[in-house]
Structure 1
Amino acid sequence: MNVLFATSEAVPLAKSGGLGDVAGALPKALNERGADTRVVLPKYAEIPSAYLEHFETIHTFSFRFGWRHQYCGLLRGEIEGVIFYLIDNEQYFNRGGLYGYDDDPERFVFFNFAIAECLPHFGFVPDVIHCHDWQTALLPFLLKTRYAYDPLCRSVKTVFTIHNLRYQGVFGQKLLQDLVGMDDFWFWTSGLEFYGAANCMKAGLQYADKLTTVSETYAQEIQTEYWGERLDGVIRWRAADLHGILNGIDTDSFDPMNDPAVHTPYRGSISRKRKNKLVLQREFGLPESESIPVIGVVTRLVDQKGIDLIDRVLGELLDEGIQLIFLGAGEYRYEEMLRGAAAWKPEQLAVRLGYNEGLARRIYAGSDMFLMPSLFEPCGLSQLIALRYRTVPIVRETGGLRDTVQSYDEYTKTGNGFTFANYNAHDMLHTVRRAVQLYRDDEEAWKTIIANGAKEDYSWSRSAKSYMSLYGELLPLRKETERWPVTS
C-alpha cells in the first residue's frame, strides 16, 4: 500500500504545532505496518540545512494555475527512514515562518496544484493521498475536477483529516476563483461557496473519499451546530465517511528515561521525578521544595486553550500554595496578563513567552500536574506527553481530552487524572483543589493515579492500525464510479 501524506508541516523539517508532530510520526508507524508512506511539504526557508543536505532535485518544470505561470522544483530525501518530498518555489516559500502572510491563499493553492502536477514525477504511485487541514484541502477537489482527465490522478483515493475545524482557509470568492481559474457558474456548482466567501476546508470535506479527525469525541462534537464552525451540515452529510482516530505520540522521543533534555532520567520512580522538579524550580527562579505542588502549562495562549478560566480564578489558584509554570505565546492580552501575574507573585508563578522544545520537556518532567482547561480540543498531544512523563493531567472533558483522561475514582482506584465537564472557572478551580489535596494527603493514591496512566499505550501503533484499516477500505473502490458532492 502506497500512501502520500500531503501536509504543510512535518517534523523534523518544519513545525508550528501538533500537525507537524502528527505528519512526522504517523508515517513511521504506518511504514512499520508494511505501508510505503511518504510525505510532501513546501521547501520552507526555515528547514535546517543539516536536513536539506539529504535532498536532491529530481524534477524541475513550470505550470499554470489560474493565469499564473510558476516554477516548481521537486526534491527528494530520506530522513529517519521516511522519504520526504519538497515542493520548491522561492517566491512562495523562501521566507521566515510557515504561515501568516497576506498571500497565504496563493501560496497554498500553488502547493495543491504542485502536488497534482508532480504525481507523475515522484517515482512512486500513491494508492492514497492523505491530506491534512485547510492548506491541502483543495487537493481532493482538484483531483476530481481539474485533473479528472488524467488516469493517474483519477485512480488515487483521498483521505482528509481535520486537525482543527476552526481554521478553515476562508477567503474571498473572487480571489479563489482567480487562483483556481473558475468562473461564477463553476464556483457555485462546485460547492466551495461559504456564506458569500470561499472555503478551502469545505472542499476537502466534500471531495475526499474518507474523512477523519483526531479523536472520537471531536468527530461527534463537530457534527453539532455549537462546535461545527458553520460546517456542521456538510459534516453531518458526510457522517458515514467520518472516522475519529485518536492521535498518538512518538514514545521513543518522549521517553523520560532517555530524554536528553531531562536532568534525571526516570520511569516509575517518583523520587527521581522530583529531582527534575527541583531543577525546574531552580531554572524558573522559584523556591525549591519537593512538597510544593507544581502545575505546568505548555500551550498556545489563545482563547481555545482556556486561558481566560485561569485568569478568572488565578488569585484563588495561587492561594492553594501551588507553583504555576507557563510556557507559550499567543494573544497579546494573555501574554500581558501572565507577565503582570508573574511580577505580582514571582515566588509562585513563572512565565516564559515563546516556545522551546527542551524547556517544554523539562516542564513535563518536573511538574506534578499538567493543566489543560480547553474550551475545545480536537485531540491534544500535551496530555499524552504529560502521562508519558508521569505528570498527572487536569483537563476539561472535551474532544481528545475526554477520550484520554479519566477522572480518578477513590473507591475503584481507577482513573489517570482529574477532569471537569463545564467550561467554568470555578469548576476548574474545584478540580485543581481536589488534585492538590490528594497530592498532599494521600501519596499512595497519587502513586496509583500515576501507575494507571503508565498502563496506557500512547504510541502511534494503535492509530496506525486504524488508518491502515481505513486505507484498506478505499482500495477496492478504485474501480467504482466516483462519488461527487451534492450541490444546491
Structure 2
Amino acid sequence: MSKVLYVSSEAFPLIKTGGLADVAGSLPTALKGLEEDVRILLPAYPEVMQQVKKARPLASGTYYNLDVTLLEAQMPGSEVTTWLVQCPAAFDRPGGPYMDSNGQPWHDNALRFAIFCKVAVDIALNRLNLDWQPDIMHGNDWQSGLVPALLHSHKQRPATVFTVHNLAYQGLFDYQTFLDLELPAGLWQLDGLEFHGQMSFIKGGLVFADRINTVSPTYAQEILQAEYGYGLDGLLQHRQERLTGILNGIDDTIWNPATDPHLKARYDQDHLDSKLLNKAALQKQLDLPVDATPPLIGMISRMVEQKGLDIILQAMPRILALPVQLVILGTGEIRYEMKLAEWARRHPERLKVIIGYNEPLSHQIEAGSDLFLMPSAFEPCGLNQLYSLRYGTLPIVRNVGGLADTVVDANKKNINKALANGFVVAKQSPASLLATLKRAVKLYAQNDSWRQLQLTAMNGDFSWQASAGHYIDLYQQALADRDKAMV
C-alpha cells in the first residue's frame, strides 16, 4: 500500500470543466478500493465550498503574503479524504476555475496555481505537520506542473507521477512572472521551465517527474510527433523511456443505464427496447418531432476547434439534408456557439443546440441518442465515447488518441467478427465526416445488425478497476526511479 496525494485543479462532483474532473473524481476512489491510501488536493473554489460539509482546518500559512488554510473534507459520495487549499484572494471569486465570466483567463493564474503547488510541496515534505506524508505525488496537467520541479532537488521527497490530460494547455507565462513567483533561478533554463522565452508550468512535470503518463496508449505515441507535441515533442522523445499511456476508465456507478436516476427509462443489454423510451422523452423535452425512425445524433462537447466543430459546421447543410435529428450540448468559443445557434434557429425540427453545461441532460442525451458525434482532431482519451458505448449509443469518431484505442469501425470485416462498436471517420474533413454519417444512417435501418453493434458496445469493460491497477504499477516504477536518482 502506498500513500498517494492526488493533486488536481478540478474533481467531479465538486467542480468540473472537462474530463480531468471526471478522472479526479473516480480514479482516487478506484485506487482506494485497491487499498491505496489516497488523498485529493483541490483548490477551495466557491462551488467546492458550497458542496462540502464540515470542512475542518488542518494547517495554515502564508504564501506570497497571502493567507492560506488547508481544510479537510470528504468527497461527496466517496470515502476519499479531500484536502482543500483555501486562499480567498486566489480562489474565492465568481467565474470558472481558470477563466472569468467573460471567458478570459484570470490575470493571476500563475500566482493562483503557484500557491496551489507550493502547498502541495509543503505537504510532500511534511512541513505542515499533518502526520501523513505521501509516498507518491500524482500531479495532473499544467496547474500542478510546478510540484515535480520544486521537489526534484530534495533528498527526502516522494516519488512523482505527472499525468498529461491535454498537452495543448501548457500554462505559459512571461519571464517577469517567473521572477515575481520567486522560483529557484536554476529552473530558468531549457532543461527546466523555460520554453521559447516563456515560463511553462507543464514543463515542470514533463522534465522533472519520475514518471509521465498520458490518458491513452495511442496519445502517448502521438505526442512524440510534431503534429501533436505542441513544441514539446523533442523533450518527450528524450524522456520516452519514462512515458506510458494508461486508458482512462469511467465511473460505472454514475454512468450506468441500468441505474441512472436521470433517465426516463432504465435499461441494459437484456432490455434494450427501453432505450427507445429515452429517445422519445428527449425528443419531447427538446421540442423535436417524436419519431423513432430517424437516428438521433447526440454531441456533448466543449465548443473548440479540437472537437471537430469546423468540419461539422462545414458539413452542416448536408448533415441536415440527411434523415437525422441532431442535439448538441456544450459551451466554448463564442464563434462556434453563435454559428450552431443560427443553424438551430433555421432548422428547429432537425437541430437543437443547448449552450451551457447540464449534467442530467448529458445523461439523457447519452441514453436517448442512437449515435454520438465526436470527430475530434485529437483526443488524449475522451470519456464521452466510453459513456456512449456503455449506453449502447454508437460513437462516430476520428482514429486518434483514446478514440482509436476504444472504438472499432463498423466495416464488414469487424461486423462479421463481432468486434465493431462504432464508426471511424477516415479523414478530418467534411466529406469524410458526411460519408461516415451516411454509412451509419444506412446501417441504422438494419435492425438486427444495429442491435449486434449495440450489444458489442455495451459489453466492453471500461471500468476504472483495470486502469487503477496500471496506475499502481506506475507508482511502483516511479518509486524505483526515485530511489535510483537518490543514490
Q: TM-score when scaled to structure 2?
A: 0.94
Structure 2: which amino acid aligns with 1:402? A
Deviation at 1:212, TM superposition (A): 0.3
Structure 1 residues 401-440: aligned runs within 5 Å: 401-410=403-412, 411-440=416-445
In 2, are the aligned partners of 1:177 and 1:187 still within 8 Å (CA)? no
Greater mean deviation of Cα atoms: 188-197 or 21-30? 188-197
- CA distance in structure 2 between the partners assigned to 1:439 and 1:409 by the alignment: 13
Residue 292 of structure 2 is matched in structure 1 by 290
1:177 corresponds, among 165, 179, 188, to 179
Q: Is residue 2:70 matched to residue 1:62?
A: no
Change (3 A) 1:189 1:324: closer
Give the C-alpha shift of residue 31 in structure 1. Answer: 1.0
Residue 103 (structure 1) aligns with:
108
Taking the aligned partners of 1:186 and 1:384, their CA distance within structure 2 comes to 39
CA contact 2:187–2:193 (8 Å) conserved in 1:
no
Question: Cα offset for 1:155?
Answer: 2.6
**What SS is found at the alignment partner of 1:188?**
coil
Residue 169 (structure 2) pairs with residue 167 (structure 1): yes
Listed as ranges, the matches of 1:305-384 within 5 Å are: 305-384=307-386
How many corresponding residue pairs? 470
Match of 1:299, SS state, is: strand
Alpha carbons 1:109, 1:180 under 8 Å: kept: no
- The residue number in structure 2 matching 1:5 is 6
TM-score (norm 1): 0.94
- CA distance in structure 2 between the aligned counterparts of 1:55 and 1:41, rounded to whole angstroms: 13
Q: Secondary structure at the match of 1:288?
A: coil
- Report the CA distance between 1:190 and its aligned residue: 5.3
Structure 1 residue aligned with 2:72: 76
Q: Displacement, 1:236?
A: 0.4
Amino acid at match of 2:469: K
In 1, Cα distance between equivalents of 2:120 and 2:405: 34
The answer for the alignment partner of 1:448 in structure 2 is: 452
| Distance verdict in 2 for CA 1:380–1:258, change over 3 Å | same
Listed as ranges, the gaps of 5+ residues in structure 2 are 100-105
3-state DSSP of counterpart to 1:401: helix
Q: What is the rounded CA distance, in whole Å, between the counterparts of 2:181 and 2:203 in structure 1?
A: 16
Q: CA 1:367–1:99 in structure 2 vs 1: closer, same or farther (change >3 Å)?
A: same
Distance of 2:36 and 2:440 partners within structure 1? 43
**Judging changes above 3 Å, is the alpha-carbon distance between structure 1 residues 478 and 306 closer, same or farther for their aligned structure 2 residues?**
closer
Distance 1:477 1:312, change over 3 A: closer
Tell me by how many angstroms 1:479 deviates.
3.5
For residues 222-261 of structure 1, give each alpha carbon's deviation from its aligned partner in whole angstroms, at most 9, with x where no partner exists.
0001110000000000100001000011001111111111
2:34 is aligned with 1:29 = no
Structure 1 equivalent of residue 131 of structure 2 = 123
| Matches for 1:173-252 after TM superposition, within 5 Å | 173-183=175-185, 187-188=188-189, 191-252=192-253
Following superposition, the deviation at residue 480 of structure 1 comes to 2.6
Alpha-carbon distance in 2 for matches of 1:142, 1:180: 12
Shift of 1:48: 4.8
Per-residue deviation, 1:188:
2.5
Contact 2:211 2:477 in 1 (8 A): no
CA distance in 2, matches of 1:310, 1:389: 23
Q: Alpha-carbon deviation of 1:478?
A: 4.5
1:191 deviation in Å?
2.1
1:413 is displaced (CA, Å) by 3.5
1:132 matched to 2:140? The reply is yes
Q: CA 1:186–1:355 in structure 2 vs 1: closer, same or farther (change >3 Å)?
A: closer
Give me the whole-angstrom Cα distance separating, in 2, the residues matched to 1:460 and 1:477. 25
Change (3 A) 1:260 1:173: same
- Contact persistence 1:74–1:118 (CA under 8 A): no
- Letter of the structure 2 residue corresponding to residue 103 of structure 1: D
Q: Which moved more, 1:116-125 or 1:191-200?
A: 116-125
Is the CA contact 2:174–2:198 (under 8 Å) kept in the aligned structure 1?
yes
Aligned counterpart, 1:86: 84
* C-alpha distance in structure 1 between counterparts of 2:207 and 2:67, whole Å: 30
Distance 2:45 2:396 in 1: 36
Structure 1 residue runs without a partner (length 5+): 484-488
Distance 2:35 2:194 in 1: 40
> Deviation string for 1:434-454 (max 9, x for gaps)?
0110101x1111011011112
Percentage identity across paired residues of the two chains: 40
In the alignment, structure 1 residue 112 sits paired with structure 2 residue 98: no
For the residues of structure 1 that align with 2:255 and 2:182, how far apart are their CA atoms? 42
Work out whether residues 151 and 157 of structure 2, in 8 Å CA contact, stay in contact via their aligned partners in 1.
no
C-alpha separation in 2, matches of 1:13 and 1:371? 27
1:475 correspondence with 2:483: no
Separation in 1, partners of 2:349, 2:74: 47
| CA displacement, residues 311-349 of structure 1 (integer Å, 9 cap, x when unaligned) | 111111111110000100111111111111111111100
Once the two structures are TM-superposed, the CA of residue 50 in structure 1 deviates from its matched residue by 3.9
Q: C-alpha displacement at 1:189, in angstroms?
A: 6.4
Q: Deviations over 1:39-68 (max 9, x none)?
A: 0011111115341x23211112224xxxx3
2:210–2:481 CA contact under 8 A, matched in 1:
no
Contact 2:161/2:478 (<8 A) preserved: no
**1:376-424 Cα distance to aligned partner (Å, 9 max, x none):** 0000000000111110111111100010000023333421011023111
3-state SS of the aligned residue for 1:160? strand
Q: Pick closer, same or farther for the CA change 1:87–1:232 going to 2, 3 Å.
A: same
